[in-house]
Amino acid sequence: MTQLRAVLDGMRAYTAQPTLSFKAEVVREVIQEAAGVALESDGDKSRRPSIDINVPSSVLVDVVRARLVQALTNVLLNAIESYRGTDSLKPIEVRADLQEGLLAITVEDSGCGMSAEARGDALTLFATSKPNGTGFGLPLAVKIVESEHGGRLTIDSVKGRGTIVRIIIPKHRPVDRA
């Protein structure tokens, strides 16, 4: 029943058409909130990596805060879970910087990594390699980043070495012209 509820909740989140209200936000605070939610949501609190956030508090970007927190939470939860079955507890590193009007957020872990096939499946709706996974986490993150924020989410990974997720979004929301 718990797995069915998780699938239904994931479907609701993925198909939702929220009202998007963009506002200038401090990126560090958005990332800290997502990290807190991810750490709290992780079921295995006995052994997990810390999350190092290396983002200046001066970086502001126009985002829908709750939605970007959701996307980052999904990415960070996957990063945390990737350490299961490994000996590494090297911290997950989150960095962000501005480049030519774009915000680049990088989440780098030293977990189990993914094969090329698994990396391709990771962004596919309903595809999961986890026993209790729903296959909604990363596809929802992609929807939020790409469709809602006009950005791009990419994954680089090496099996046995770790994964790097890059999120690139515009610093300012373009003005809608009717």
pLDDT higher at 81 or 76? 76
In three-state form (DSSP H/G/I as H, E/B as E, the rest C), the secondary structure along 131-154 is CCCCCCHHHHHHHHHHHHCCCEEE
Q: Where are the alpha helices (DSSP H) in the chain?
A: 2-15, 27-41, 65-81, 116-122, 137-142
What whole-number distance in Å separates Cα of residue 171 and Cα of residue 106?
15
Mean pLDDT of the 106-124 span: 82
Tokens 């790409």, located at residue: 146
pTM: 0.83
Query: What does the pLDDT read at residue 6?
Result: 46
Q: Give the pLDDT band of residue 136 (cuts 50, 70, 90).
A: low
Give the three-class secondary structure for 28. Answer: helix
- The set of residues, in sequence order, having a beta carbon less than 8 Å from that of 72 and lying 6+ positions away, is 30, 31, 34, 35, 38, 105, 107, 141, 167
Asked if residue 70 lies in contact with residue 77, where contact means CB atoms within 8 angstroms, the answer is: no
Tokens 């939470």, located at residue: 73
Nearest to 55, CA basis, from 35, 71, 82: 35
Express as a percent the part of the chain with pLDDT over 70: 76
What is the overall mean pLDDT for the chain? 83
Q: Give the pLDDT band of residue 144 (cuts 50, 70, 90).
A: very high
Indicate whether 4 pLDDT > 90. no
pLDDT higher at 28 or 84? 28
What whole-number distance in Å separates Cα of residue 71 and Cα of residue 75?
6
